[in-house]
Amino acid sequence: MVAETLLQAVNDALRTEMEADDRVVLIGEDVGKDGGVFRATEGLINTFGPERVMDAPLNEAGIIGVATGMAMYGMRPVAEIQFMDFIYPGFDQIVSEASKIRYRSGGTYTVPMVIRTPYGGGIKGGIYHSQSTEAYFTHLPGVKVVSPSTPYDAKGLLIASIRDPDVVIFLEPKRVYRSFREEVPEGDYTVPLGKAKTARKGKDVTLVSYGASVHTCIQAAEEASREGISAEVIDLRTLLPIDIETLLASVNRTGRLIVVNEANKFGSFAGEISALVAERAIDVLSAPIYRISGFDTPFSYTWESVFMPDAAKVLEYIRKAVNY
């Protein structure tokens, strides 16, 4: 075991898979000599060379399109998009090509590729470096969407994503990149895609989230415990496919649900979670389902701390749910 940050765990996962499988290649802007904008690929070009760690021009459509072609013909590319906010020039490649190739070819081709990109606020990045638009990608059959919240999960989920036969959008919460360390096993291990985890056990209310907001929920749950309220925290880890069974089991125990994420509230993935639970477990609910998200405005630089849900706001809704 070694103590790693989430950023180091991502680098560790890439190195582990590149050593194990020479089909794994990296492509993206500045991923080579510079090691990526956050240094997630730092040092890998020195080990594996420019043939496997490829700097690309400022062309997200080209990065994703080239990676799609590589994947179709036997490679396992990992494409880096510097910020989720920059992915949209390559959006058509994901929506119209990569996500549909298995279906349209009748299974003749698969697209085993990963698109890594940091997302969310918390680093004073402003409007073009802070968005959380993960809901766009959860609308796509043929794509998996993953967002770890801890270093251990980041390494295990990324290795599992690289080995997956289909497109995986791997969303890295940049606010957590260097915020803490935890012990991560050396070498090879995986965390299965499509399986949530209980980050904190409780009996009075369920908080569900993913990525950086999981830590906000844990902090709020700890504060609620001082008031005699027992809050359970579910970390989805994989948004698509979602582990609805684990979530429903928690809601059946607590009878209350609060969904927390950083995205604009209207049309966010929080709404899909709410709908799934309402369809299947409305008869066990003792309070309305509450969504705590960002505002329906562009992401604010000056008011970042107000835009993003914090523990105080989550605690407010915990009280509201248990006292309904």
Per-residue pLDDT reduced to its tens digit, 23-82 = 999 999 999 999 999 999 999 999 999 999 999 999 999 999 999 999 999 999 999 999
Task: Looking at the structure, tell me whether residues 102 and 234 fall in a common domain.
Answer: no
pLDDT value of residue 319: 98
Q: Is residue 110 part of a domain?
A: yes
Q: Is residue 150 part of a domain?
A: yes
d(CA 55, CA 66) in angstroms, rounded, equals: 12
pLDDT value of residue 122: 85
DSSP state of 90: G
pLDDT value of residue 303: 80
Give 184's contacts (C-beta < 8 A, 6+ positions apart).
1, 2, 3, 4, 8, 9, 12, 151, 152, 155
Q: Is residue 190 part of a domain?
A: no
116 within 8 A of 90, measured Cβ to Cβ: no
| Selection from 203, 236, 239, 232 nearest residue 218 by Cα | 232
Structure-token match 């969407």, residue found: 145
116 within 8 A of 83, measured Cβ to Cβ: no
Task: Looking at the structure, tell me whether residues 239 and 205 fall in a common domain.
Answer: yes
237 within 8 A of 191, measured Cβ to Cβ: yes
- Give the three-state DSSP class for 295: coil
CATH code at 140? Answer: 3.40.50.970
pLDDT value of residue 305: 85
- Give the three-state DSSP class for 230: coil
Task: Looking at the structure, tell me whether residues 96 and 123 fall in a common domain.
Answer: yes
Q: Which token pair is 60?
A: 């997200």
Q: Is residue 189 part of a domain?
A: no
Task: Looking at the structure, tell me whether residues 134 and 70 fall in a common domain.
Answer: yes
DSSP state of 297: S
Residues recognised as catalytic? 129
d(CA 87, CA 148) in angstroms, rounded, equals: 19
Task: Looking at the structure, tell me whether residues 171 and 288 fall in a common domain.
Answer: no
| Selection from 97, 103, 119 nearest residue 170 by Cα | 119
Task: Looking at the structure, tell me whether residues 127 and 226 fall in a common domain.
Answer: no
pLDDT value of residue 304: 86
Overall pTM surpassing 0.75 (yes/no): yes
Task: Looking at the structure, tell me whether residues 125 and 28 fall in a common domain.
Answer: yes
DSSP state of 36: -
Q: Is residue 192 part of a domain?
A: no
Which of 161, 184, 207 is the C-terminal boundary of a domain? 184
| Selection from 314, 279, 311, 295 nearest residue 206 by Cα | 314
318 within 8 A of 229, measured Cβ to Cβ: yes
Residue pLDDT tens, the chain, 324 long: 899 999 999 999 999 999 999 999 999 999 999 999 999 999 999 999 999 999 999 999 999 999 999 999 999 999 999 999 999 999 999 999 999 999 999 999 999 999 999 999 988 888 899 899 999 999 999 999 999 999 999 999 999 999 999 999 999 999 999 999 999 999 999 999 999 999 999 999 999 999 999 999 999 999 999 999 999 999 999 999 999 999 999 999 999 999 999 999 999 999 999 999 999 999 999 999 999 999 989 888 888 888 899 999 999 999 999 999
Task: Looking at the structure, tell me whether residues 29 and 144 fall in a common domain.
Answer: yes
Which of 135, 153, 184 is the C-terminal boundary of a domain? 184
Q: Which token pair is 229?
A: 């309220």
**Residue 132, amino acid:** S
Task: Looking at the structure, tell me whether residues 202 and 174 fall in a common domain.
Answer: no
Task: Looking at the structure, tell me whether residues 11 and 153 fall in a common domain.
Answer: yes
Per the structure, the complete domain to which residue 275 belongs is given by 197-322
